[in-house]
Structure 1
Amino acid sequence: MIAAKAKMNDREVFHEHLNGQYSMCRAELLPMLFEMGKTITNCDNLQKTTSLLLKIMKGHFNVECGILTLYHQKTGTIFVHESLGLTEEEKARGVYNIGEGITGKVVETEQPIIVPKIREEPNFLGRTHCRENEELDYSFICIPILREKKVLGTLSIEKEYTNNTLLQQDVELLLFIATVIAQAVDLYLLETEEKDYWEKENQRLQEALKKKFHPSNIIGNSPPMREVYSMIEKIAKTKMTVLILGESGVGKELVANAIHYNSICANGPFVKFNCAALPENIVESELFGHEKGAFTGADSQRKGRFEEANDGTIFLDEVGELTLSIQAKLLRVLQEKTFERIGGNKAIKVNIRIIAATNQDLPMMVKKGTFRQDLFYRLNVFPIRIPSLKERGSDIISLCDHFVLKYANENQKQIKRISTPALQMLMTYSWPGNIRELENIISRAVILCEDEVIHGYDLPPSLQDATLSGTTERTGLESKIEAVEYEFIIEALKRTNGNITNAAEDLGMSRRMLGLRIQKYNINYKQFRNKQFRINSLPLNL
């Protein structure tokens, strides 16, 4: 026994535990503290620092429960970052507000708190886990982690003490450790928790903006579309006449829907009529209705679309196709909100909002005399121009996502993404048919797709020709082979971060042959070296 005691003196025992077992001695503790300080100095890595801290808690303090909490100033919450002796479920329960419980008071006062007997302290909430009866005699030490007069969190242990000297020594050592790790904790909060908070806050604000300016029936969040959403939000509050302008297939009807269903007329009828779909004599009857016997075949009275839209909205699509005689009648409806049925002489008054749409150049038609100038001025009170698809940039990806999911579900297929070459083809195409053309192309590609990825060769030749270079005249088989070859080269360059040598080896060909293929297809291999390159695939929200 004496020899053993002498040996312990040589190792500079820090203190002796009351149950006869010796805890971690100074010779073992100091190297760990040195390593902790070196870790913080070199890389400010809280994970490594915490790992060393838990070893000290287990070895020197000989505790079953030790906790490191962090204080998030933006949210005002204190949460368990790392612990010894707690399960993940127990850690999740250890969330406090400032001033709440012992931990919350330590953060609030920035002063250590020592609870000699947990059972005798009413402010001890013990949210992390339920204690057995014998643990109620434990003491609780909670130390604030401070840096430049800013509280960052707490360091706490639960342990049974019958010797005040040992308790005071542990408090002093915890204070020292809290000072050592303060820098790492501060940087962690700045780089991780602050970043996470602002990302969530940004996402929240984006969702709020989308909810305010982005009608649920329209896909896309590009700057031109956000301007459209803003216009919709402003005009929907009124009953003003709206003229929607834009190329064929851009979604003018969807905008009309958004205006109506976000307006004060939303509870009324929404009547749609395509002015280019029927001959002139039928268009007049459809719009204004007719009396019985007004013309051959008029066996009964019939209400027109304007009457059906009373107390609601009428949407006149392709209004530029109306003849001059019907334009004159439409002008009266706009001016006086009255009209007569064909064959009748009774003025019918309606309370409606008129939304018109066209893909034609109405000012040019006015100059040519094919569209009434006074009608144009009446319609052009609040024009909204819908951008073409080629102006909407990243909205193409969102629309592809939507249409792939839609048609994959309809055809009971599991399609997870669109390949990089296919995306490049979709992004570089001019889209003369706009969204309607995109939808048709995606529905075709879903049908042709034979695995979980839509490839470039699943797209029509018109899109492949817009991306691929080579001979000007190719047979269908040659075009298919080139599309497959292009796809393989792009995927190889993506996997090798634009390294031509590695890509050639991956493809089983010489570097020179790959270089010729890259030149043939006009591929910029350097773009794959940029870590910010993001046109890798289209992940679908399956």
Structure 2
Amino acid sequence: MAHADAAVVGNSETRPKPPPIPLSEIALTGIYEISKILNAPNRLETTLSNVLNVLSSFLQMRHGVISLLADDDVPDITVGIGWNEGTDERYKARLPETAIGQIVATAVPLVAEDVATHPLFTTDATALGADGDVRVSFIGVPIRIGAKVVGTLTIDRVWDGHSVFRLDTDVRFLTMIANLIGQTVQLHRVVSRDRDRLMAESYRLQKELSELKPARERKKVLIKGIVGDSPALRSLLEKITIVAKSNSTVLLRGESGTGKELIAKAIHELSPRAKGPFVKINCAALPESVLESELFGHEKGAFTGAINARKGRFELADKGTLFLDEIGEISPAFQAKLLRVLQEQEFERVGGNHTIKVDVRVVTATNRNLEEAVSRKEFRADLYYRISVVPMLMPPLRDRRSDIPQLAGEFLRRFNGENDRTLTFDARAMEVLMGCGFPGNVRELENCVQRTATLAHGPSIVMDDFACRRNECLSAMLWKGQSEIAPQRLRPAIPLPVLPAAAAIGASAPPAHQPVEDSAPVYAGAGAAPANRGEIPDRERFIEAMEKSGWVQAKAARMLGLTPRQIGYALKKHGIEIKHL
């Protein structure tokens, strides 16, 4: 028995240690972790800083810096571990200019085992922390978009006697990371250019809207199927006639039941695409897997039950208009797929690998506060910019109460035609409708008229025919709880970093007696206050430069011929809040 115990102890003492993890496996894990960071929808500087944070856990390094170049090869973005706004200069101080210049010019990695003795670091060795007792090594690799070098990824470390083989391994690893960074930078730049184009288009349309003639000179706009003559509705219809002429993406915002689908169809019918198809889909009504097939189509055998190939809504809407209702309800994963289609107007069917090109104008709608969803990272900011080129707010029925008699009369006429009746409204009956809140807006008014007409006993609808006269109207209780908060439903939770110079068309519908000030910036949420006209003109010049540069201070400084320090001072002086896009 003693021998057996001894044997067990001996086995545990002589058990071989597990082999070290191969460097190739460590590198693969590092690439996987970094690819996840690069796919996250964050600001580019934040993403690159997070990459360096992860990189430091896979490589022996003291500091890491990613520097991206502008079109004139001047450093545009410089980030390091723990980057935050205003720290660019601190990281630029760690960039050896001569060595970086060689990496950019030759597009070849650079390795220096000891920067103190390397000819390219004659004036920069001290900045990297090298002195008599500390030997510092340096590795720098180019970041490319195609064949063009757009930046560098560099690290430095205290030399610990590692072999040249280890340095070569690190160079290969960093080169792979730099290639992934290059793809991400390219995507960000494409999105940025696309956003700038969309903002310019939105600004042009807003300028057209602001130049509308005074109300007394305007010709009344009539659109088939849209009933009413209230100031709020007339203002909306005038905007529709202008917006319909372009191909810009429109975002219809407003409460449920305000007629967003009807307005979307009107935009289509007044546009040059009127002879093309008008296709609609409710994004909230379908699960993500079904929605993808519905929008993009599928190939035969793509999934169980796909016995034939089928075209999606994008293909069916080619040369026409696609209306995406409840756009705010789609999942973050599907938002990325939709963004690509909206930007490139191309996609593949589910289960297919053939790229299909389409020409589709997209109109979207939501009753959600998308700005708040963006701030909570529930909705992608890049998709928000893409769909919100021309945001238009649908006025609720409480803001167009003078339209109630016309709407009620139209709904009763339809009911009579469908049911072979000749009902009319008693004079007192219309007083009941004018006194109702209708939290469900036009849709609820239509339901009320149809329900009351169905149960009416005489040739006319009278006061006592309405459910609210008998305390049987559930909507009356709903209205009581919502009447005070409903006007705030679309108010954003934060100041919005969206569009310049009143570019958010129709974002806030002012009362008829309150004219819109043409030069006042308007944010995309209802109720946002216009800028103070009393402020000095220089402030507007700084804001314009910041917006054109995507709120990157270094870019704005170059545009204005200033240093980053000067523009930072000016922004503080004028109280301009930095927007993080």
TM-score by length of 1: 0.46
TM-score by length of 2: 0.43
Structure with larger Rg: 1
**Greater length-normalized contact order (CA 8 Å, ≥ 6 residues apart):** 2
